Amino acid sequence: MSIAAPQPQPQNSADRDAHPGGTVTDRLVEANRQYAHTFTDPGMDARPVQRVAVVACMDARLDLHQALGLELGDCHTIRNAGGVVTDDVIRSLTISQRALGTRSVVLIHHTGCGLLNLTEDFRHDLEDEVGQRPSWAVEAFKDLDGDVRQSMQRVRTSPFLLHTDDVRGFVFDVKTGLLREIEPRS
Ligand SMILES: [Zn+2]
């Protein structure tokens, strides 16, 4: 059994197909040329101005900078499927805090997350299909709030981080654009 996802239909495919024959990456490269044309070097260094790291799901409907009123240079954004606090997220947070001066952590999951419909069967089916067991866990979850709490707990208990006093978790509602804060496990 293949576990490949069905292809979504773009809503404005006519607009996006301005370069027939070009791939999506070709369109991105062209967009970058236009971006660079008006870009001016803001002269910042690599340390985020707001001293905050945001860990969020990779979901295409979540525009972190718009949703949180962030400007270029304000924050680190660390994203993966689910916004799960994996070892690699801890790696990034550790570098963010120890080398680049951030001290607050914001965790964002969201409604309608693709991981809500998955189970660890995904991993087993993958192994059946390709003949190799992935070294990573899917980290699927059924309870959004519970998973945000677990993510907060993983950050707060990490021995590698310098700052674990300002760690807050939220669920972003993809229908309303609003964040709902999740109280940590007491
Ligand atoms: Zn998601």
For residues 37 and 23, is the Cβ–Cβ distance under 8 A? no
Which of the two residues, 51 and 117, has the higher pLDDT score?
A: 51
Yes or no: say if 53 and 98 are a contact pair by the CB < 8 Å rule: no
Domain boundaries, the chain: 44-182
Reported confidence tier of residue 76, pLDDT bands at 50, 70, 90: very high
Taking residues 61-83, report their average pLDDT. Answer: 97
Query: Which of helix, strand or coil describes residue 78?
Result: strand
How remote is the CA of residue 103 from the centroid of ligand 1, in Å? 25
What is the tens place of the pLDDT at every residue in 77-118?
999 999 999 999 999 999 999 999 999 999 999 999 999 988
**CATH 3.40.1050.10 is held by the domain 44-182:** yes
DSSP result, 80-117: EGGG---HHHHHHHHHHHHTT---EEEEEEETT-GGGG
Contacts with 150 (C-beta within 8 Å, 6 or more apart), sequence order: 85
Cα of 48 from ligand 1 centre, angstroms = 25
Contacts 24+ apart (CB under 8 A), 128-134: 128/1, 129/1, 129/2, 129/3
Quick one: pLDDT at residue 12?
Answer: 56
Task: Give the residue from 111, 102, 170, 163 showing the smallest Cα distance to 141.
Answer: 111
Instruction: Report the separation in Å between the CA atom of 23 and the middle of ligand 1, taken as the mean of its atom positions.
Output: 25
The arithmetic mean of pLDDT across residues 160-186, rounded, is 95
CA of 88 to the centre of ligand 1 (A): 17
What confidence score (pLDDT) does residue 174 get? 97
The per-residue pLDDT for 62 is 97
Task: Enter the tokens of residue 123.
Answer: 């991993």
186, pLDDT greater than 80: no
CA 172 / ligand 1 centre spacing (Å): 10
3-state secondary structure of 76: strand
